[in-house]
Amino acid sequence: MYFVLIYALACLSTCHCHFIEKGKNENHCGLLKQWLKSSLVSVEIVKEGFHREVVTTVELSPDVLSDVRVLLVHRWPRGVFVDPYQLASLSDQSDWQILLDSAIDLEVPAHKTVGFVTYVYPSPDGPTPRLLKVTIPIHGRYHEPSFVELLLRTEKCTQLNNKEPYTAVVAPCTPDNSSTCQWVKLQHQQERGAMGVQFPVGDGSLVRPVCGGTLLVTVLCCVALSKHMWKHRIIKQ
Amino acid sequence: MERLITKLTEKHVLFTASFAIRLTLVAYGDYQDRTMVVKYTDIDYHVFTDAARFITEGQSPYNRSTYRYTPLLAWLLTPNIYLSMVFGKILFIVCDVLSGLLIYRILRLRGLGSETARRVCSLWLLNPLPMGVSSRGNAESILAALVLVTLLCIEARHLIWAAIFYGLSVHMKIYPVTYALPIALTLRTFETRSEENYKRWRWRRFIGFMGSFLNRELFLFASVAGGVFFMLTALFYYMYGWEFLHETYLYHLTRRDIRHNFSPYFYMLYLTTDSRWSQWLGLLAFLPQLILLLVASWAFYSDLAFCCFLHTAIFVSFNKVCTSQYFLWYLCLLPLVIPHLSLSLKQGVGLLLLWFVGQGIWLGPAYFLEFEGYNTFLLIWLAGLLFLIINSSILIQIVAHYKPTQTSQRLKVE
């Protein structure tokens, strides 16, 4: 399973832009791009086994204004899944909210499903703190790459020009998925080394001994139990 | 010590105390859920409650993923939404204590003295396992109560009530359908064999045997039980369509859990999930279960409680999927069997410990697989086989030491 790249995105909400405001607008959008460049995103996977936690830490640049909205987009491989019910109960206790792009089948094996995307909104209702830490519990199917994108938006940056290396991306504005906004993303800002998780899998080469052994033991137990039950059967008088 | 046990098992004290302890556990569970990270309440309880919520909004309970039970359960739990979240748990612990009362009644009907019956009952009422399961929000106690009331009604010859409760219990979970054969064998016309009859032609005996099933009582039982079951199925099919049939019944029949569980077949099914032999192996795995159920029915049908206990224990141990919740299905019938066992206390405790050791040996590698990521699949497989061997040995010991009531005689083979 191989890996995570970090993108930074900033987003603009679509609203009317007056001519007089244009200068200010460009200034805000420029600021967004600056903040994206100077923000740091790191991802760590903790815990062992089939139940892990992906800890994403975002350190926004010191001059970021508190009205900037942050969106973290995780693209997950089909080898893991998140439990929407677990996330719902977690969101009561944490300051971030999550939106899933599709319904998650909790039980299907990895090769029978596809990856999915999550949108994490830290502090959706309050001012955005400078240091954000989001812990997402994941559960294993098996492994493939996942990667993280950091997107930013602010109400004041309304029109974004799509100049390299920044791109405007459309994503839901808030966790309730009621509208979409433009967010700014920085392409290929940092490339991290391979990060992966490993899940143990069954040893396919042992199919014959396992089948043989299982059937042998079950048949022997069946015969022994049948014999004793018949020997001690109750005859009705 | 003796006086303490006598005091504790006085009827009013016993039932009141067992209810009070369960109530305390529910209250504690509520506290733990609110204050600690590890929750007391089982995830199933949240599944039931979410499904009940969908019903209160006029939708199908199957909108809640992993809800694989009868809609009746979600309907029963709608007060969770209207009154309080804790309603369901109270219902489950009431059913739990009711099961204890039913065990007491059945034991009395089978000729046990009041004091002994109460002591045996306390094995269920003061047992931490059913206490924990019900207070955590699992619905197993409803089914335990239904199965026990069916047995009680059959013992007391209230056949119509027995049939109604039997139909209801099969509707709620499929496994009681295995009791159909011993019940049919019990209710058929029993002909005492004389020497003359025995010398008749085989085919005449066979016809006689088949004919014994055509009697009024059995017909009444079958039609009422079948009627209840099909009426409920038809009603819920009309309300919720194919999804109801699939989630409540078909899923459980075709279920192949490739994730680790106590079943001896788990690893074999996991490794052969996508192979073309998978269907045949599934069918092959079904055979020992079927053969054992047939033998158990024929050997012990005259003692219905014992037969049902064996049926369920065999069904669970040889099933393709086995989780610890399933143990309660036969543990609720164990108190009915215990008074007739000629095992000494030492032997009994030894078998119990063996059962726990078998589980412990499985739980060790399972923990390391799931929470530490070690590849312990082979160890889990071997532990699963060992658990099957242990379960079979325990059942053999129980069968060998079972002394039925006076009306039947054991076949002695020297």
Residues 87..106 of A with a Cβ closer than 8 Å to B: which? 103, 105-106
User: Is B141 in contact with B134 (CB distance < 8 Å)?
Assistant: yes
Question: pTM here?
Answer: 0.76
Strand order in A131-140's β-sheet?
A40-46, A51-59, A131-140, A80-81
Q: Are the beta carbons of B404 and A234 separated by less than 8 Å?
A: yes
Candidates A104, A214, A216: best to mutate against B (most CBs of B within 10 A) is A214
Tell me what pLDDT residue B244 has: 86
Which residues, other chains included, contact B201 with Cβ-Cβ below 8 Å and sequence gap of 6+? Answer: none
Give the separation between CA B383 and CA B359, rounded to whole angstroms. 8
pLDDT average, residue stretch B168-191? 88
What are the DSSP calls for B149-194, one per residue? Answer: HHHHHHHTT-HHHHHHHHHHHHHH-SGGGGGHHHHHHHHSPP-PPP
Q: Which residue of chain B has the CA closest to A104?
A: B65
Per-residue CA distances from B50 to B44, B64, B74, B93 (Å): 10, 6, 9, 20
Q: Which residue of chain A has the CA closest to B399?
A: A229
Q: Are the beta carbons of A202 and B298 separated by less than 8 Å?
A: no
Q: Which of A233, A229, A212, A232 is nearest to B291 (CA)?
A: A229
User: Is B356 in contact with B366 (CB distance < 8 Å)?
Assistant: no
User: Is B206 in contact with B268 (CB distance < 8 Å)?
Assistant: no
Amino acid identity of A222? C
Tell me what pLDDT residue B9 has: 61
Q: Is the peptide bond before A165 cis (omega within 30 degrees of 0)?
A: yes
* CB-nearest partner of A51 from B190, B272, B371: B371
Tell me what pLDDT residue B413 has: 39
Tell me what pLDDT residue A4 has: 33
Residues of chain B with Cβ-Cβ distance to A222 below 8 Å are 288, 291-292, 318
Tell me what pLDDT residue A153 has: 83
Which two tokens mark B117?
């019956």
Q: How close is the nearest chain B Cα to the Cα of A51, in Å?
A: 7
Q: How close is the nearest chain B Cα to the Cα of A86, in Å?
A: 10
The strand pairing partners of A72, in sequence order, are A120, A150
Q: Are the beta carbons of A237 and B372 separated by less than 8 Å?
A: no
Q: How many CA atoms lie within 13 A of A101 on its CB side?
A: 12
pLDDT in 10s for each residue of chain A, 237 residues: 322 333 333 333 223 334 445 666 777 788 888 888 888 888 888 888 888 899 988 888 888 777 888 888 888 877 888 988 888 888 877 888 888 888 888 777 777 788 888 898 888 888 888 888 888 888 887 433 335 677 888 887 777 777 777 888 888 888 888 888 888 887 654 445 456 666 777 777 788 889 899 999 999 999 999 999 999 988 765
CA A235 to chain CA centroid, nearest Å: 64
* CB-nearest partner of A215 from B275, B284, B399: B284
* CB-nearest partner of B299 from A109, A219, A234: A234
* CB-nearest partner of A226 from B192, B291, B302: B291
Q: Which residue of chain B has the CA closest to A233?
A: B299
| Least trusted range by pLDDT, from A125-139, B164-178, B206-220 | B206-220
Is the minimum CB–CB distance between A210 and chain B shorter than 8 Å? yes
Which two tokens mark B98?
């009711």
Q: How close is the nearest chain A Cα to the Cα of B146, in Å?
A: 26
* CB-nearest partner of B388 from A199, A221, A226: A221
ipTM score = 0.85
| Least trusted range by pLDDT, from B228-232, B276-280, B336-340 | B276-280
Q: What average pLDDT does chain B have? A: 87
Give the separation between CA A30 and CA B400, rounded to whole angstroms. 85
Q: Which of A217, A56, A83 is nearest to B264 (CA)?
A: A217
Q: Which of B93, B164, B88 is nearest to B124 (CA)?
A: B93
